[in-house]
Amino acid sequence: MIYLKFCGTRGDQPINEMVIATKRYSASRSDGAIRVYHEPGQFEMVGSDGWLNCFVMSETGKTIDKIEAP
């Protein structure tokens, strides 16, 4: 199991965090943002209109990867 921790927003919303547990993830570019898929057809946007970054963490809490807003 891996964990995707999404952090921060640039909009008027307060700074938020969300953690999603998943077995795998993938990322693709989309109109100036990055889509991070955590389940087939389900994704979060990392970009100026979405989350500012996404930390990919192991079960022990170690950061494996970081996806930042372009």
Domain-wise residue ranges, the chain:
2-68
Q: Going residue by residue through the chain, which has 70 residues, state the pLDDT in tens, using 9 for 90 and above.
A: 999 999 987 666 666 889 999 999 999 998 889 999 999 999 999 998 889 999 999 999 999 999 998 8
- Return d(Cα 51, Cα 37) in angstroms, integer: 13
pLDDT at 29: 94
Rounded to a whole number of angstroms, the distance between the first and last alpha carbons of the chain is 27
Full-model pTM = 0.86
Three state DSSP letters for 4-22: EEEEEECCCCCCCEEEEEE
Q: Which residue bears the tokens 């500012």?
A: 52
User: Pairing state of beta strands 51-57 and 2-9?
Assistant: antiparallel
